Structure 1
Amino acid sequence: MKDAIVVKELRKEFKSYSSRKGLGGAFRDLLNRNYKTVPAVNDISFTVKQGEMVGYIGENGAGKSTTIKMLTGILTPTAGEVRVNGMNPHKEREKFASTIGVVFGQRSQLWWDIAVQESFRLLKKVYKVSDEQYDTHMKHVISTLNIEPLLDKPVRKLSLGQRMRCELAAALIHNPPLLFLDEPTIGLDVLVKLKIRDFLKEINEKYNTTILLTTHDLTDIEALCERVVMLDEGKIIYDGALENLRQRLGEQKQIQFQFGEKVDPHNLGMLTSDLEVIWQKGEKEGIWIAVLADSVHLSELIGRVAGSHKIHDMAVQEISTEEIIRNIYEKGQVFQA
């Protein structure tokens, strides 16, 4: 299987300026400005195989968008090596641009005041797509994303969900082998998100399209990506299967008990003192939540509590992927896949 993306020791630094106080400070800044060099992406390395769907995640300021901009040729790296579709993105821009599709959730590639289909026709000319290729491929894309009723409307009259579906279609006019998606579902309702996810799965299966997805919506990652690359302060802290991350850090369970009688939390603590359980009071009266570090003791915990207290209801919940990832960032852990 070919490598779609190869990144070796990639680094991007920016100069950050600070202003001195007062009028005198302003004059001094004219002659000699204070600045420091800040690494936004700090010597990262990873590879994405052709046909993979990879989630590239991190907190705000972690370096996700900076990485995407280097991979798409918008920014030139300070140091390191980048090969995307066998090319150097910032040195072979014209040839390279025809091999990728890009969707930035907060930026548009469609012309604001003209009809959607006119934007599509302009992009068709830019990418030198033949009429036959356009008709065959885009007919399927337009139908699947259900945007045919939108083609005659100016982009400025579309809702956010409608525009994002059209943005995705625009990125696929030349049927690129590699698709970069930066927050493609930001602000969208559930139904539109589901439609976009289903479409991405379909083009991945049909055309073996490689997809690199950055998003804060972890339900998108769970639905689409088997592999995640986690970035923190410009460094990769995890690169591997999402399921492995869940297995290693998702053993924690939460058991919610609704008691039919008043319960003394001290008694609950004594009852489970040897099981590494943390008890938390629920939002409603009579509800207590047991956070269990190891699921091996789950049945023992339930047996002890049920044997000594009257229980009306009980629910066992696994820790969510979002909670796992939040804990990783809070603890600053680094993991090997």
Structure 2
Amino acid sequence: MSPAVIEVRGLQKHYRVHRRQAGAAAMVKSLFRRSYETVKAVNGIDFAVAPGERVGFLGPNGAGKTTTLKMLSGLLHPTAGEVKVAGFTPRHREVAFLKQVTLVMGQKQQLLWDLPPAETFALNRAVYDIPKREFEETVSELTQLLELQDLVGKPARQLSLGERMKCELAAALLHRPRVLFLDEPTIGLDVSMQSTVRSFVRAYNERYGATVLLTSHYMEDVAALCPRVIVIDRGRLIYDGDLRQLALRVRPDKRILVRLERPVPATELSRFGVVVSSDAAQAVVQVRAAEVSGAVSRILAGLPVSDLTVEDPPLEEVMSELFRSSREAAGS
């Protein structure tokens, strides 16, 4: 097995934060005596990622995801612990390291606002010292994959959010990095553009064998791209493994989506399982995984069914249940 591209051992990031109560008296008091508390943004996590893996890095707001990505890319120094990315220590910010990684943040941009993306591409070529022939080949490939032909010549301020994000991805990948840290790359994009970005990330991963560590609150991104997930909450790792196994462990039930030829009362639907939702056109019934076959047979025999599908519970619900159970186990 190939050595890990990303290795994290006992990683911590703590901040000393000044706290004071509201009001003028508290403000004056704080001038002479300040009280501080330690915020443990990341509190001792361990994981490793192999070459070419696509891994979802998940957690609620404030869990420490972005802080971790910034430490992995060298923008923040850890309080404690060890980090290796592509054989380098990120906080040293060596040139050879910077040429192998990229960090794309959906809420930040590197495009020059009044200039076309082509100018940012040229600037990045100089920054990364990319040979002209390689640069032209990469721009051509990325332009084709992301359909940028009509965009690279327009000022960035004239592009839509989705168009800017496609150009941001191209700019971040001109040096063909081996490791991609993607922090909410589809945030704010419409469904069609989210799909485009997901398809591109998969294509880049498969073409170059790049390692991808992705954070996203859109579970469609994770389900489409990441067979494995690492989940953290309040700075601690609570799950690292296969996404499907996580869903089976946390929510082993199934949902039967039934499209109806005529309205059926909820009381009648409840004979087949727990009614999650229902209206005149369709109903969703939840049953245990072991009972799916029998429930489907009874529904087909007892209801006016026009169509029927069996689905796993939504990943959003799986994650919410995981966080809830983790906090209950921790006594908080």
Question: What TM-score, normalized by structure 2, do the two folds share?
Answer: 0.89
Cα-to-partner distance string for 1:235-256 (whole Å, 9 max, x where unaligned): 1111011122233334312335
Distance 1:311 1:268, change over 3 A: closer
- Whether 1:57 aligns to 2:49 is no
Contact 2:5/2:49 (CA < 8 Å) preserved in 1?
yes
Task: Work out the CA distance in 2 between the residues paired with 1:188 and 1:263.
Answer: 38
- The two structures, once aligned, show a CA RMSD in angstroms of 2.6
- Whether 1:198 aligns to 2:199 is yes
1:311 corresponds to which residue? 303
Task: Work out the CA distance in 1 between the residues paired with 2:264 and 2:112.
Answer: 64
1:68 corresponds to which residue? 69
Distance 1:144 1:259, change over 3 A: closer
User: Shift in Å at residue 304 of structure 1?
Assistant: 5.6
User: Shift in Å at residue 149 of structure 1?
Assistant: 1.3
Aligned partner of residue 237 in structure 1, secondary structure: strand
User: Shift in Å at residue 55 of structure 1?
Assistant: 0.7
1:249 corresponds to which residue? 250
Contact 1:237/1:333 (CA < 8 Å) preserved in 2?
no
User: Shift in Å at residue 215 of structure 1?
Assistant: 0.6
User: Shift in Å at residue 219 of structure 1?
Assistant: 0.9
Task: Work out the CA distance in 2 between the residues paired with 1:112 and 1:226.
Answer: 36
Aligned partner of residue 66 in structure 1, secondary structure: helix
Aligned partner of residue 319 in structure 1, secondary structure: coil
| 1:280 alignment partner, one of 275, 282, 286 | 275
Number of matched residues? 325
5+ unaligned residues in a row in structure 2: which ranges? none
Aligned partner of residue 149 in structure 1, secondary structure: coil
2:25 corresponds to which residue? 24
5+ unaligned residues in a row in structure 1: which ranges? none
Question: Could you tell me the percent identity over the aligned residues?
Answer: 37
Shifted more, 193-202 versus 148-157: the winner is 193-202
Contact 1:10/1:41 (CA < 8 Å) preserved in 2?
yes
Highest CA radius of gyration, 1 or 2? Answer: 1
Aligned partner of residue 73 in structure 1, secondary structure: coil
Task: Work out the CA distance in 2 between the residues paired with 1:191 and 1:261.
Answer: 33
1:328 corresponds to which residue? 322
Task: Work out the CA distance in 1 between the residues paired with 2:138 and 2:282.
Answer: 55
Contact 2:111/2:168 (CA < 8 Å) preserved in 1?
yes
Task: Work out the CA distance in 1 between the residues paired with 2:239 and 2:215.
Answer: 15
Task: Work out the CA distance in 1 between the residues paired with 2:291 and 2:113.
Answer: 59
Task: Work out the CA distance in 2 between the residues paired with 1:20 and 1:246.
Answer: 42
Correspondences of 1:1-337 after superposition (within 5 Å): 1-255=2-256, 265=267, 277=273, 279-280=274-275, 282-284=277-279, 290-292=285-287, 294-302=288-296, 310-313=302-305, 315=308, 316-332=310-326
Contact 2:146/2:166 (CA < 8 Å) preserved in 1?
yes
Shifted more, 39-48 versus 95-104: the winner is 95-104
Shifted more, 113-122 versus 249-258: the winner is 249-258
Contact 1:20/1:29 (CA < 8 Å) preserved in 2?
no
Task: Work out the CA distance in 1 between the residues paired with 2:297 and 2:107.
Answer: 52
